[in-house]
Amino acid sequence: MQLPPNQQLVAQDKWPIVGERLPASELRPWSVEVAGGVRRPRSFPLEELRALPQATRAIDIHCVTRWSKPGMEFSGVPLAVLLEVCQPTAEARFVSFVARSLRRHSTSLVLSDALELDVLLALAAGGAPLTVDHGGPVRIITPQRYFYKSLKWLDRIELLVDDRLGYWEAEAGYHNHADPWREERYLAPTLTRHAMRQVLASRDFAGRDLRSIDARGHNLDGLNAAAALLRDADFRGCSLRRACFDGANLSNARLQGANLRGATLRGADVEGADFAAADLRESNFTGASLFGASFCTESPAADDPLRDAARIDGTTIIPRSALDALTPRQQVFLLEQLARIDSSARE
């Protein structure tokens, strides 16, 4: 099957948990309220949702951090069924889904998109009731959008005249349209070219928001990028010796061929980052989140299976506990490397 650009398959039996892990604990029984721009606002107790006609759909999950899980079977009530009961007003153009969670997590869609995409209020996945960590008892499933448009623990559906950005969209710059085929992942902050040159020359990125920065080929030895936001950043071919990325967000960053000797990435988020052909000797990944990270090219030439593989040696620290979340091929590559290396230096 064809995947959207820059996505990779998650291992068959795995379904990662992303974002919030639990709903807010409240005693009131679960129900879904439909409110805002509707002629008949009302609340649907869980039992009523379960009693409505259920639809089953095979959905391809595409997480913005680059993993995909195609053909997941979800069953539940189509959003259209609820809206037929509640009747959106003519002015309602957006729909916001709000979670029963501590931060009142939310996400929104253009109402006509939601209906066209056939959004589902899912009660079951793979034939079994949704587990709590995956949004049970009831979550939103939005096909054909990155998975952050699929809200867990649905509490409230609000019809709106003006859009209200969701949590990830407002707080983390996630793209509001989220089409994986167009790679609508994140919005880049705008920096003038002059400001960009200054930032690169200073080698001080600490704590800054430099999402999608294009630093290709620069000499950034000794860079201080502690706690910087570097999602989607392009560091291909950079010299980053002894750089500090501790606590930084490097998700989906491109580091192919970068020299990261002696760099520290302690507690960094490197989900979906690409380290193919990077020099990682003496680097430190303690506590880093490696979900979907790549350390070698996914589809190498048949004659050279480790073409473009990262260089790792006995001084590189990559905790074994983090290997779980890699794709099978990345796992095999790293395990082979680690097996070759004296294990005393790692967790």
The yes or no reply on residue 16 touching ligand MTE (CB under 6 A) is yes
135 binds, among Mo ion, ligand MTE, none (CB under 5 to 8 A by kind): ligand MTE
CB of 245 to ligand MTE, least distance (A): 22
The yes or no reply on residue 18 touching Mo ion (CB under 5 A) is yes
Please enumerate in sequence order all residues whose Cβ is within 8 A of that of 269, keeping only pairs 6 or more positions apart, or say none: 248, 249, 250, 251, 288, 289
Indicate the Cα dihedral angle 13, 18, 21, 22, nearest 10°: -100
Can you tell me which of 148, 186, 285, 295 binds ligand MTE, judged by CB under 6 A?
148
The yes or no reply on residue 134 touching ligand MTE (CB under 6 A) is yes
**Would you mind telling me the total number of residues written for the chain in this entry?**
347
Range in contact with Mo ion (rule: CB under 5 A) among 42-50, 67-75, 139-147, 190-198: 139-147
CB of 210 to ligand MTE, least distance (A): 21
The yes or no reply on residue 96 touching ligand MTE (CB under 6 A) is no
The yes or no reply on residue 95 touching Mo ion (CB under 5 A) is no
The yes or no reply on residue 247 touching ligand MTE (CB under 6 A) is no
The yes or no reply on residue 150 touching ligand MTE (CB under 6 A) is yes
Can you tell me which of 14, 17, 195, 340 binds ligand MTE, judged by CB under 6 A?
17
229 binds, among ligand MTE, Mo ion, none (CB under 5 to 8 A by kind): none
Can you tell me which of 34, 49, 63, 253 binds Mo ion, judged by CB under 5 A?
63
**Residue 129 and residue 109: Cα distance in Å, rounded?**
25
105 binds, among Mo ion, ligand MTE, none (CB under 5 to 8 A by kind): ligand MTE
The yes or no reply on residue 30 touching ligand MTE (CB under 6 A) is no
Q: Which is nearer to Mo ion, 34 or 178 (CB)?
A: 178
44 binds, among ligand MTE, Mo ion, none (CB under 5 to 8 A by kind): none
Burial class (CB in 10 A: 0-12, 13-18, 19+), 112: exposed
The residues binding Mo ion (CB under 5 A) are 18, 63-64, 147-148
The residues binding ligand MTE (CB under 6 A) are 15-20, 63, 99, 101, 105, 134-135, 147-148, 150-153, 168
